[in-house]
Structure 1
Amino acid sequence: MGTGHFVEITGADGTFTAYLAVAADGRGPGIVLCQEIFGVNAAMRTLADQLAEEGYTVLVPDLYWRQQPGVDLGYTPADFDRAFTLYQAFDEQAALRDIADTAAHLRGLPGWSGDGLGVIGYCLGGKLAYLAACDVPGVDIAIGYYGVGIEKALDRLAGLKGRLVLHIAGEDAYCPAPARAAIQAAAAGNPKVEIFVYPGVDHAFARPAGDHYNRAAALLAHERSITALRPVIGPHYNLSALWDEHVRHEFDTRNVPDTMATMVAEPYVNHIPTMTGGVGYKQLSRFYRHHFIHNNPADMRLEPISRTVGASQVVDEFILCFTHDREIDWLLPGVAPTGKYVEIPMLGVVKFRGSKLYHEHIYWDQASVLVQIGLLNPAGLPVAGAETAHKLRDESLPSNSLMPSWPTSAGKPVD
């Protein structure tokens, strides 16, 4: 069912229901989320809940209410048949009135911060998001995922007032190459429009648990959507400060509950070289309590090198320094302490949902760690020890010292 609930909306044409997911912070910019042809089903409610985690108050109106209120279909052959029957009798103009009524209702909710309003849609809803951007007053930004039939309504683009983002599947039979080319040509040169094409993926690539779901493409499209939304309607977060707070509880206060409090309800952490961490609250809190926060050497510290902050992501470059005075489960699992001092360059890719940390991907060169503690002899191998950290600090140190062939290119032309 999701974390939200259904509300009633009284509009110009009658009363219909909508699924409401309130922003995780209690108030946020508004989003009208437009359904696929399957109604306000579990997939749409999941997407609404995710957007609420991102800081938005979301309404998903039942756009089939004139035909059959409360449509909630799955993806069986019978469900597809019913969905296409409903779609064939669907009135787009009536749906746009419903979207306008939903937006008006949303603006009156205590969960709306007053910062702006967007429309997002998938499939059928993807085209409706496009039409709403062109026809519905007060839409600051619209985002359409694999909208069907946009190429037949390109004349409406002249009415665009706010920003428009379209995500198109490269293998979408409902938007073949000629249709895609027509959309791109119509939008060419319009600074308000961004179009992203995802090669090799099919229609509904962002539908949770769908047959065509492509995780990489869905995550990239979501990141692009959030990047488009933030500057137009917000909300705005100091991600750098939020990340610093999380790290403080990991390494300074070493407090597991406070660390978990900086994260979403079901976060995950993946230390890529050792595949350590956890997925979900229970596993990750267990990992933090018994294998990370209280498992680190007393002198472990992070030396910052650089930081890049995006709309929903922080990329942190740093050097991790420590004495290997105990078994470090997450970094050197099963390796007895050697007493060696280690300096290792690391990179953290940290994703947020709203004001809470969603995941961490942490990268480092494990070979360099093993060299520094004496478990790997670097002789004859293209690996290095603490020199990698030294050169990160000081780029003037020699390059290409691991390349036996480097001297042979001295004096050769470079053009």
Structure 2
Amino acid sequence: MTAVQGTAVDIPTEDGIADAYLVHPGDETPRPAVLLYQDAFGLRPHLKSMADRLAEAGYTVLVPNVFYRHGRAPVVELPEFIDPHERPEIFEKVGPLLMSLTPDLVERDAGAYLRWLAESPFVADGPVAITGYCLGARLALYTAGAYPDRVAAAAGFHGGRLATDDPDSPHLTAEHITAEVYFGHADQDSSLPEEQIKRFEDALTAAGVRHRCEVYAGAQHGYTQADTSSYNAEADERHWVALLDLLDRTF
């Protein structure tokens, strides 16, 4: 197993400073970059451990606090184990943060993250990959659509509201995406009903995007997040296999 080195970094954006976690193999050789987008609960120890696992596989990984406009992480204080049914006040605090992160802000911030990665001595020349969770799956699509020349692969897991009737629905980015796309949907996810799953894949197909979308049976929204009540170990390991396969094909 490759030893890794993780550190806190600050990324200048057009609207301030985004705090982030950067991790890379300890030999400091430039590696392909992976931009890891958080779920709704934000930058925290579990997401750092996920980034560490990717770095152990040979990648330089950046995990930005996408809610940086509201403060440094943790923006919302969280228990060690997150069970929204037991702690409904968590979503009451997180909800306004989600609503404030509009697609135009996402794309503006993504430009800053991608520029920072391009200038990092730990990142190899060339395009990057993205993996996103929950909210982050939407952010991955907005980023891949806005920066097609910079994003070679985009993965999303247990994303919600991917193909709505909204004029800025994430699936509408498909016509601009040149990356290979992989999405692992949760079948126990009220935020992504069957009709949205179909609309999302139809949009990718119509746009000629190389893609694979799979529905993980028995998985809930949040199945990769081991510090939450939605965690599903079998689905999580399936996600790692799919993600690492995508990265292997890309780099």
* TM-score of Structure 1 vs Structure 2, range by shorter chain: 0.7 to 0.9
Shift of 1:43: 2.0
- Residue of 69, 77, 81 corresponding to 2:88: 77
Identity over aligned pairs, percent = 26
Contact 1:61 1:99 in 2 (8 A): no
Rounded to whole Å, the distance in 2 between the matches of 1:197 and 1:94 is 29
Deviations 1:176-222 (A, max 9, x none): 12211211222236351111110111101111232121111111111
Q: Does 1:134 align with 2:145?
A: yes
1:221-251 CA deviation, whole Å, 9 max, x = no partner?
A: 1111111111212xxxxxxxxxxxxxxxxxx
Instruction: Report the Cα distance in structure 2 between the residues aligned to 1:25 and 1:115, rounded to whole angstroms.
Output: 20
- Distance in 1 of aligned mates of 2:111 and 2:47: 19
Post-superposition offset of 1:88: 2.2
1:20 equivalent to 2:19? Answer no
Deviation of the 1:46 alpha carbon:
1.4
Partners of 1:184 and 1:23 in 2: CA distance: 35
Segments of structure 2 that go 5 or more residues without pairing to the other structure are none
Taking the TM superposition and a 5 Å limit, the aligned residue runs for 1:319-338 are none
Q: For the residues of structure 2 that align with 1:65 and 1:209, how far apart are their CA atoms?
A: 22
Matched, 1:43 2:43: no
Moved >6 Å (runs of 4+): none
Letter in 1 for 2:100: A
- 2:182 aligned with 1:165: yes
**1:411 paired residue number:** none
In 1, Cα distance between the equivalents of 2:77 and 2:21?
A: 15
Residue number in structure 2 paired with 1:56? 59
Secondary structure at the counterpart of residue 95 of structure 1: helix
Q: d(CA) in 2 for partners of 1:42 and 1:78?
A: 21
Distance in 2 between the 1:155 and 1:90 partners? 18
Q: What is the TM-score of this pair, normalised by structure 1?
A: 0.53
Tell me the equivalent position of 1:220.
238
Deviation at 1:24, TM superposition (A): 4.6
In structure 1, how many angstroms separate the alpha carbons of the residues matched to 2:33 and 2:224? 21
1:38–1:73 contact (8 Å) kept in structure 2 = no
Displacement after TM superposition at 1:7 (Å): 0.7
Partner of 2:157: 145
Assess if the C-alpha contact under 8 Å between 2:163 and 2:199 holds in 1: yes
Any stretches of 5+ residues in structure 1 without a counterpart? 234-415
Which residue number corresponds to residue 92 of structure 1?
103
Following superposition of structure 1 onto structure 2, how do residues 177-216 of structure 1 map, counting pairs within 5 Å?
Answer: 177-188=194-205, 190=208, 192-216=210-234
Larger radius of gyration between Structure 1 and Structure 2: 1
SS at match of 1:173: coil
2:37–2:133 CA contact under 8 A, matched in 1: yes
| Paired residues of 2:106 and 2:142 also in contact (CA < 8 A) | no
**What is the RMSD of the two structures over their aligned residues, measured on CA atoms?**
1.9
CA contact (8 A) 1:23 1:58 kept: no
In the TM superposition, residue 73 of structure 1 has moved relative to its aligned partner by 4.2
User: Counterpart of 1:10 in structure 2: which amino acid?
Assistant: P
Secondary structure in 2 aligned to 1:165? strand
Count of residues paired in the alignment:
232
The residue matched to 1:51 in structure 2 has which SS? helix
Contact 1:48 1:60 in 2 (8 A): yes
Relative contact order: is structure 1 or structure 2 higher (C-alpha 8 Å, sep ≥ 6)? 2
> Contact (CA 8 Å) 2:43, 2:64: kept in 1 or not?
yes
- Which residue is 1:7 aligned to? 9
